[in-house]
Amino acid sequence: MWYFGGVTEAEKYLKNAETTAILMDAGIELMRQNLRRRNPGVDEGEVTNLLTAWLRRMDDPIPGDTAGQVRIRERLS
């Protein structure tokens, strides 16, 4: 087993996944607040609908899924 500072590699990845989920939840909650502020007259159900539409939007290309050749920078030694 590989150890780094008393933490196994699996524990490190698990902690990273947990941090990612926490940050994602925080970002979603921030967007919910933005939608409430931008649409002051709508009820909570409509805010949820707007948030769902925002989460499902496909106008942003997936990284690596754009036209053109992929360029990789060489590592400087």
Domain assignments of the chain as residue spans, ordered by start = 8-38
Percent helix, strand and coil across the chain, each to the nearest 5: 55, 5, 40
CA 20, CA 28: separation in Å to the nearest integer?
Answer: 12
Please report, as a single letter, which amino acid is at residue 50: L
- Which pLDDT band holds residue 66 (cuts at 50, 70, 90)? low
Calculate mean pLDDT across residues 21-49.
Answer: 96
Q: How confident is the model at residue 48 (pLDDT cuts 50, 70, 90)?
A: very high
**pLDDT > 60? residue 5:** yes
Angle (CA) 45-49-52 rounded to 5° is: 135
Tell me the average pLDDT across 5-11: 80
- Could you tell me how far CA 56 lies from the centroid of its own chain? 13
Q: How far apart are CA 20 and CA 10, in angstroms?
A: 15
